[in-house]
């Protein structure tokens, strides 16, 4: 079997706790570190809330009627790591069961959207797509291609990359400045700038040939 990486943007359905929290507090993102279904509608999850509005998001989450239990592990600046037990997982769980594919963790949730990753072959990718369509889950395939076993970014670099992307640093026009992003990450602007250059270098070097293949010469 040829293993590929399938990356999908999922529009979380109404009645999902993460949709409610990230739409009500759009300046944060939630990273789901681990999750386990307790039954067809309830899941236990370990999550990290990241961003300047993390404390407000925690209050929204704790007051959400779908969230049965919360336990904070650690608070580090603007990041809060905790475990929760939440309802409203039925449609997403059914689609995953139907596809018979394993959802990779961690994955990120922002503005009511989840970014899901699967390591699978072409047939498995079709099963995921068909299952999402069957359960009327709005989605868009972002990428499907060869999986690299080597780590592209360190966990810290991944945190910075996620924060930059989901806070709009690479949008045009930019929705956040480097200074503000550094403040959100609680590191100096110079340190963040150096890390961003290293992240961009790693990405450019690893994907340069794919960019050439997909882009015509002038």
**One domain, residues 80 and 188:** no
Task: Say if residue 138's pLDDT is above 80.
Answer: yes
Q: Using CB atoms within 10 A of its CB, is residue 171 exposed (0-12), middle (13-18) or buried (19+)? A: exposed
Task: Say if residue 66's pLDDT is above 60.
Answer: yes
Q: Is the separation of the CB atoms in 43 and 37 below 8 Å?
A: yes
**One domain, residues 9 and 58:** yes
Residue 157 is classified by DSSP as H
**One domain, residues 102 and 64:** yes
Confidence band of 72 (pLDDT split at 50, 70, 90):
very high
Reduce the DSSP state of residue 10 to 3 states and report it. strand
Number of folded domains in the chain? 2
Query: How high does pLDDT run on average in the chain?
Result: 88
Q: Is the separation of the CB atoms in 144 and 5 below 8 Å?
A: yes
Confidence band of 94 (pLDDT split at 50, 70, 90):
very high
pLDDT of residue 154: 82
**One domain, residues 112 and 197:** no
**CA 188, 194, 200 angle in degrees (round to 5)?**
130
**One domain, residues 129 and 204:** no
| pTM for this model (two decimals) | 0.70
Q: What does each C-alpha distance from 21 to 54, 62, 69, 81, 218 come to in angstroms?
A: 10, 10, 15, 15, 46
C-alpha 156/C-alpha 140 separation (Å) is 27
Domain that holds residue 196: 155-214
**One domain, residues 173 and 84:** no
Q: Which two tokens mark 81? A: 């790591």
pLDDT of residue 34: 92
Q: Is the separation of the CB atoms in 90 and 20 below 8 Å?
A: no
| C-alpha torsion sign, points 90, 167, 154, 146 | positive
Task: Say if residue 76's pLDDT is above 90.
Answer: no
For 98-127, what is each residue's pLDDT tens digit?
A: 999 999 988 999 999 999 999 999 899 999
**One domain, residues 87 and 104:** yes
pLDDT, mean of residues 189-198: 89
Q: What does each C-alpha distance from 173 to 168, 180, 182, 201 come to in angstroms?
A: 9, 15, 18, 22
**One domain, residues 39 and 141:** yes
Task: Say if residue 1's pLDDT is above 60.
Answer: no
Residue 39 is classified by DSSP as S
For 140-154, what is each residue's pLDDT tens digit?
A: 998 887 765 557 788
pLDDT, mean of residues 33-38: 92
pLDDT of residue 114: 94
Domain boundary among 146, 177, 202: 146
């Amino acid at each position: 079997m040829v293993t590929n990486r399938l990356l999908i943007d999922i529009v979380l359905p109404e009645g999902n706790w993460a949709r409610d929290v990230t739409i009500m507090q759009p300046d944060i993102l939630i990273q789901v570190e681990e999750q386990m279904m307790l039954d067809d509608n309830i899941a236990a999850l370990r999550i990290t809330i990241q961003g300047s509005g993390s404390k407000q998001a925690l209050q929204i989450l704790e007051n959400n009627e779908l969230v049965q239990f919360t336990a904070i592990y650690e608070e580090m600046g603007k990041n809060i790591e905790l475990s929760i037990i939440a309802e409203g997982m039925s449609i997403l769980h059914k689609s995953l069961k139907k596809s018979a594919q394993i959802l990779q963790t961690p994955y990120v949730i922002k503005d009511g959207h989840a970014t899901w990753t699967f390591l699978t072959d072409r047939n498995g990718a079709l099963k995921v797509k068909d299952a999402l369509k069957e359960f009327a889950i709005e989605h868009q395939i972002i990428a499907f291609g060869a999986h690299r076993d080597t780590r592209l970014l360190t966990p810290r670099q991944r945190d910075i990359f996620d924060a930059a992307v989901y806070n709009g640093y690479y949008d045009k026009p930019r929705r956040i400045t480097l200074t503000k992003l550094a403040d959100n990450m609680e590191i100096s602007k110079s340190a963040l700038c150096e890390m961003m250059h290293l992240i961009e270098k790693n990405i450019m070097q690893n994907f340069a040939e794919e960019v050439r293949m997909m882009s015509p010469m002038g």
